[in-house]
Structure 1
């Protein structure tokens, strides 16, 4: 069987599983998720052994340690993944929720209710925890999922999917609701991207190159997620000690994720006080600063920044920096270089905070807080499928409700539409 035929078989099986899964009530879905969590813990050693092979291959190919950290699983991380699955099981089921409704003047009862999307394809890089997070969220929201992780995590993802499918076989949820896209070649990705009619939506998670490729080449509808060129702007009225702590946390706490800060901007009025302190603190944390001439004037170790430095999502201990003359200049910089993910202002001025929030057109805007809080778990959504940076269907952290669509249901008593209005069939003489 060719790779294309193998994919078609898997996609058809997912479509059948989606139809079987969609009407299930909450209890069997929650039971299935708890079975998956138990299986992950019970088979953690097997998962870690497969992951060790991926780590070994990544190191041999010269992969940066920050990216290897995204790839790595140990028993503690597997336990954390299982905990996240149980947390998803504990969340309210969005399917069937009434979004809005009313009784129309003609007596029809009208309701808009949440329904599953159907078959969701996930294309993602590196992090094997996404394999489980995505599957858990899709199952809870009544969707089947086709998973296509990167080749760097192929062994890890294969075992994780096997563990989940084995667990589902003892539940009411069909095992084919969770499947790995066959193959590890670029062609296998293309099969998924062009499976319109079999796959209802694609969600890419990864760098700009991956997301752009999926958006430009897919015939399946796409929800864009992931690229995080996040900014921290230190305003003229900022508490500089607070600003320094927020900046360091946003950059250093976990630099390899999409909500880490990649650029900091400093108002010229506080540059003399803030920039030297920031350069010293960031250097102590091992961070390389790529700055404009005004930033470079404060330190010998600043790397001169060009246009691309401000566009890059570093995902490493690197950060771009610039001095700006006004809040409006900071906003202009963010509009030019940002990715509409998360941007933060540090200020004691309510006026400045309100203006920044109104002018910055990003999925999340933070005031006096780290960019690292843009996360489904931190927002109380449980595990997230990704962070959408577009404006249609979903924006920001995508939890369970964002993995549903809606349908309209109207209920009558023999209502008939006529040229003169509505009549009830039983009342017609």
Structure 2
């Protein structure tokens, strides 16, 4: 690549400083910190050759790394041409990389369960299927990421996984040593069992395998420093809900229901599991609250009052305020954009459903990262 910069060729130190501004697109740390800079050769005529170690041979983002390195070095005065030579880390280098990211622990740990974790973890739960739980999850994630937060989504609905489609991602995770690098879509990191199964193959597993899969999603995946982690749980109060309570005891429950009283009664059970697991219920989202007709009138397709009923019932049983965070209207666009992999909060921000979902995300976002509500390892003097 030829540039118009005129002057003496830059020093190796300046080139390395420029490379410090290039991040690995999966790990999101400077390539200089990750040991990815193999070599820097600078000729007197301003031609610079940079050798870069890729973490794995099949790195899906190798072209982006090459472009970013070329752009960073080309911006330096005195550089006339940049060539990038790609190599691959050996096993020993990958082991060192894992050690630098994860420490010396032989067994992966769940970072969100550690006492010092500042990540807000929300388990999006429902008593029954078909209430739009996954739609709520992906739209909240996209809205939170749009606000500048670092967001991850675990598709914990192993049997009914749908998050990759709704976020428009068909990418596969990259494995580096014993770490899994999650793909990103719309600024959201995501992981799903659907990324590991061919086509639309069903997952036929019993409880222990579900637990192990969830544990791997939380511990083996390199999430980085997340502000918010959302888990799209399967309906009900079965194995996965119990595993989440065991693996991330500080996770909070976000209950999704429809206005229908029958659905609300079932949703109450999903929220009431907090009494047994000692988790906090962050609030209730009422989905499909009404449909607005072209003449401006509303039709209560699924009745009214279910969301407030769940919030009131959980407040009484738990003994703490459980707010109704919002009522999301029933809109065909939510389904249409979800099928095309574009959350409505990004695709049509003026739509009534998008406005409510964005407002709910704002309520979750203003809850600052911190140690409030966590168990502290202290004792009275």
Q: TM-score, length-normalised on structure 1? A: 0.27
Q: TM-score, normalised by structure 2?
A: 0.29
Bigger fraction of residues in helix: 1
